[in-house]
Structure 1
Amino acid sequence: MANIWTERQFVGGALALDFANTVCFRADPMRRFDKLKDWNDLSDFVAAAGRHGGSGSAYRIACGAGAESMALAYHLELREAVDDLLRAAALGIAPPTGDLRRILRFHHDLIAGIPLRAGAHGLELGTAKPLPFAAAVTQSVLVIAHSEALIRLKVCPNCHWLFIDASRNATRVWCDMATCGNRAKAERHRRRRAAFHEPARAGMEV
């Protein structure tokens, strides 16, 4: 069954985070699942990222006939490199320098031939054509890594997605209050009710 990519899937605050978040429940082997099972899933995600990702940009992604598996593997390798680097930062762990080197190697190969320009967040990739998706991802990582966003990275305690806490006092807990936040509230309510009724049931036992 094809994934339905809605705005709810793009709450990370940056393209690189939304890409890393295509794996749900990373820290729970029993619930972990990957939304990018094949090339069509990846292509659909990239198109949706252009619509819902907040940048207003379209991205280009393509591969030669019969090369879908290799292209998918390349993008998944990039995704895991992104997650390794940024998740460590979100958890307050100093990432190994090798994690950043992996991203820089990807970036070096991807931006060959793409002009640069000065932008609001430093050097940006400047081209009138849609950016290659992978290049936009590595650029997104480097923007995060060299800005205040890095110290505002958090991990949602419910789904384990990464997100930038842009709230004034950095008090945001959930990736999205309407989904994970409400689920957590519902679970707390269920536990309180269960705890309240348990003594009554115990008292009725003989």
Structure 2
Amino acid sequence: MTFTWTAHRFAGGALALDVANSVILRAETEKSVDRFAASEQIDSFCEAAILLSGERDVFPALLPPTSANRQSLIDLREATDRYFRTLIADGLDDDGALADLLTASANALRNAPNKHSLESSTARSVLGLLAGPDRERIRICGNCGWLFLDRSKNRSRIWCDMAVCGNRQKAAKHYRRKKETAL
């Protein structure tokens, strides 16, 4: 299955979060879709991320992982999602999840063929999120469940993308209100 990488698919605001969000409907295993299941999708992700990622200025070139390093990228993606999701949803800074994330980042950096590879760039993005002020701004979208950076002034954003997820939530709320008043 092929996918189109649109601006909405890069609503995370950081390369590491966009990579983590490459699994659609992660919480619903029967509906879940891994957009990195096919290597050509990772290739097209790299091409799109250069244009659409929130960190395109930091990572102006992205090369797909070699077949030998593909698992390293997937391990990093899963460790990133697990750590930040636990941190945000449960309010826990889980040492085990952090250790897994740091190990996956180190493996990606150690085994990457160069600094422009997707796995190396993703690892550097993760480390930037861990060490920088943006760590406190990571949220989980109230509609799709993706991880995203809340860069609003009052830190009150609840959707990864107002044009897609925010609109869907508002439309659903409007539909529910209309239905209740009709009864």
TM-score range, shorter chain: 0.7 to 0.9
Q: Tell me the SS of whatever aligns to 1:5.
A: coil
Partners in 2 of 1:130 and 1:77 — Cα distance?
Answer: 18
Identity %: 33
1:166 Cα deviation after fit: 0.6
1:152 Cα deviation after fit: 1.1
CA contact (8 A) 1:90 1:152 kept: no
Match of 1:154 in 2: 139
Normalised TM-score (structure 1): 0.78
Match of 2:179 in 1: 194
Match of 1:93 in 2: 91
Compared CA separation, residues 48 and 86, structure 1 to 2 (3 A): same
Q: Tell me the SS of whatever aligns to 2:127.
A: helix
Q: Tell me the SS of whatever aligns to 2:148.
A: strand
Q: Tell me the SS of whatever aligns to 1:61.
A: coil
Match of 2:64 in 1: 61
1:112 Cα deviation after fit: 4.4
Q: Tell me the SS of whatever aligns to 1:59.
A: coil
2:166 matched to 1:185? no
CA contact (8 A) 1:82 1:141 kept: yes
Match of 2:8 in 1: 8
Compared CA separation, residues 91 and 41, structure 1 to 2 (3 A): same
Aligned residue pair count: 179
Unaligned runs of 5+ in 1: 115-128, 199-206
Q: Tell me the SS of whatever aligns to 2:134.
A: helix
Tell me which amino acid in the other structure corresponds to 2:153. Answer: R
1:73-126 CA distance string (max 9 Å, x none): 332222101101111122243242222222322333443499xxxxxxxxxxxx
Partners in 1 of 2:155 and 2:51 — Cα distance?
Answer: 27
Partners in 1 of 2:34 and 2:65 — Cα distance?
Answer: 21
Partners in 2 of 1:6 and 1:107 — Cα distance?
Answer: 26
Unaligned runs of 5+ in 2: none
Q: Which has the larger radius of gyration?
A: 1
Partners in 1 of 2:128 and 2:115 — Cα distance?
Answer: 19
Q: Which moved more, 1:87-96 or 1:172-181?
A: 87-96
Partners in 2 of 1:31 and 1:24 — Cα distance?
Answer: 8
Match of 1:49 in 2: 49
Normalised TM-score (structure 2): 0.87
Compared CA separation, residues 153 and 92, structure 1 to 2 (3 A): farther
Tell me which amino acid in the other structure corresponds to 1:5. Answer: W
Match of 1:164 in 2: 149
Match of 1:83 in 2: 81
Partners in 1 of 2:106 and 2:19 — Cα distance?
Answer: 19
Partners in 2 of 1:27 and 1:91 — Cα distance?
Answer: 13
Partners in 2 of 1:113 and 1:178 — Cα distance?
Answer: 38
Of Structure 1 and Structure 2, the greater strand share is in 1
CA contact (8 A) 2:106 2:123 kept: no
